Structure 1
Amino acid sequence: MSTERVYVARLEGLAVFGPDGERIGKIRDLVAGLRVDASPPRVLGLVVELATRRRIFVPMLRVTAIDPGAVTLATGSVSLRGFQVRPNETLVIGQMLDARVRLRASGEEAVVVDAAIEPTRTRDWIVGRLAVRTRRSRLTRRGQVHVVSWTSVEGLSLTDRQGTAGLLSVLETMRPADVAAALAQLPRKRQYEVVDSLDDERLADVFEELSESDQRALLAHLSAERAADILEAMSPDDAADLLGELPDVESDRLLALMEPAESAPVRRLLRYEAFTAGGLMTPEPIVLRPDATVAEALAHVRNPDIVPALASMVFVCRPPTQTPTGRYLGCAHTQRLLREAPFALVAGVIDNELGRLGPNAPLSEITRFFAAYNLVAAPVVDDEDHLLGAVGVDDLLDHMLPPDWRDHLHDEPSPNGAHPAESAEKPETSDA
């Protein structure tokens, strides 16, 4: 049995030993984490049966060797808590084997007779291949067994095997960008079910990470009232980007349904061309009066709702501090604030020599500005020295990348280093 590829059917009943040779139990199954997309699932650990017949979970990272006669762990200390399968998990032997699948290339129906786990470069194990038996033909009693890659079959992903409730329990643990990528992989009907089940704040976070085409499609599914609520919960710059893609009649209707306080900054952003500093900026950077202390500034920076790029600096202005502000005085870099006494005034540490961007500055000028001064955020100031907002490097990259970059966010190399699109191969035939 090679440790580069291990067929799980051979593991059942295999003895499990600690590092000093003490017997812990025997393998009864393997646990894999189901994924929303077609990527191979990660093997999370082993289900080990103790001498008392109690079944426990042992994380895969504890495994140091898989040999033909035994599995060795890095430690003999294991949790004795009884094992239970979670909603986003599956038992490889107990639930995956004998499952009915369909071969993507030919459309043939098949049954999984074995599964191969393979190590990755990150020390994880994945279910990389499946041994499947196709339906028997008129000429043979038994169908032929083929070894195919995980991505060559359909019917085993999370969306294939679980309802919306189980899918939501998985999505709750994921970052908005990952939820958006997963959502884009779902059939439109299942997308609607998920969208209808998410609360407004969570859905707004996900909407900010969706591609423009998916945003428009899902926004059209929502009622006008809920669509307006989602736009209110989004950051103004992302809401403006989305509304800018809609017909004027629809955009005006949604703006009219939003609360005036929420729609006002969005309306200001819509005045600017999309690929200018005014079109890229957020009107909600951290703005402080000159008599604010360093401690106050750092308290604002620690706000978890502030994205990292905008938390890199605070902007000091005369009142009012809502954009468009009073006279812009300068900025204070967070790294500089960390070196100052908490009671010091931010007015004493501001950088008033750093240039500023005009609201009509084109993308090329913004890019050069960021590169020249090694910035992740930059102020946008009008001709009368009013701070209008700030451009973050995340928004800059969003507009520099191809329009469909979000659709390829999770295109990853396969375990052998090849891109998924380049790793298609002919099925292997096995006598197993």
Structure 2
Amino acid sequence: MPNEVNTALARLVRRAEQADSALLVDTFVDGGLLGDILMSPDHQIIYGRRGTGKTHALTYLADRISKSGDLPLLIDLRTIGSNGGIYSNNKLSQSERVSQLLVDVGNEIYHKLQDVLLNNDLLDSDQKFEKAVRLLEDLANGLEQIKVEGDIESEVSKEAVDSRSSQQGLTVSASQNPSATLNSSDTLASSSKSNEKHLSKGKARLRIHFGSISNPLEGILTLVDKRLYVLLDEWSVIPEDLQPYPSDMLKRTILSIRKVTLKIAAIEQRANFRESIGDSSYIGFELGADISADVNLDDFMVFDNDAEKSKEFFKDLFFRHVRADLPETASYATSDMLVSRGFTQINAFEELVRSAEGVPRDAINIAILAAQAANNDPISIPIVRGAARRWYQRDKEKSLEVNIDAERFLRYITSFRAG
């Protein structure tokens, strides 16, 4: 029979998007001043590798924003649009892919804002409600005016159809003066259908009427007297060649509005916020000038950066998760008590932290495998190492098999360290 710590570890939720938002808020670990840094009204890019807790952090941030009285719009970019695959379809022109992407992002922001306004008792009078509806309509119209331009070719095909019909009949009138009338009719109907196809070539360019979007958005926020936080998660699912275009749209419609703050969660190595379109022109964000990029979750978690800080972070992380799942009779008042009960020694816990390389998702998965292997015993160093090996083989090794250069480099590193 597994002990209660191992039972709780084995039931940990692996992915933030699969967890209840209340659980994410309760289990968020505010490493250092991370929570306060995120609450800044400054526009920010939040970097972090896969599994470092970007979704978790944005969910926690959205909760804090709501409790402060302001308005969070948390948007998962994996779920926008009816068919996200269109963005990566290279058979379509760049202009078409960019157009669909911008429409989807704009619509998601609009609908999220509409839901927040209508479901939070912010429009507490008929006058406010009517004004907000007008402003939302103006905002929708402004978003519709965003155009993507490129070199356009038009291909028009027309189809004409003619049809003829004839009718004849005899009308008889039975009266004192009977009569008969022959009726005939001949009609000609004509219909035509025109199909027009636009093909875009070259670099896409945005045409945005800033005032048509910023004015109604500022009007809405002034009406409800709130600050709006637009929180974009999973930025890196957007193809890298398209990322500068939503960046440019957001810069020209969001960043200059006084009561709006933009936060973007991204993987640094898969982020492309800017693209040059001439000797001195560019589209997208200028990092540092338009939006800061000084928040990296790795700084709070990687063991080699700060061993003590990393160890304390993960102790708190597991303590919060396990405490949420342990029976009420369990008496673990601190994270140190939990580690003492669940591991044979502090070195075993440190081995788990080191093996996760600063990635909470990896740490959780290794802990689950270790708890299953330990069963009713405390988790030891050999058990942690075995769990880490199994997790690597299950989650990481397959990715390397399709990248020969990466696999060779890993073999070189491991052989060098072993020697």
Provide TM-score, normalisation by structure 1.
0.28
Q: Higher Cα Rg: structure 1 or 2?
A: 2
Greater fraction of residues in helix = 2
Work out which structure has the larger RCO, using CA pairs closer than 8 Å and 6 or more positions apart in sequence: 2
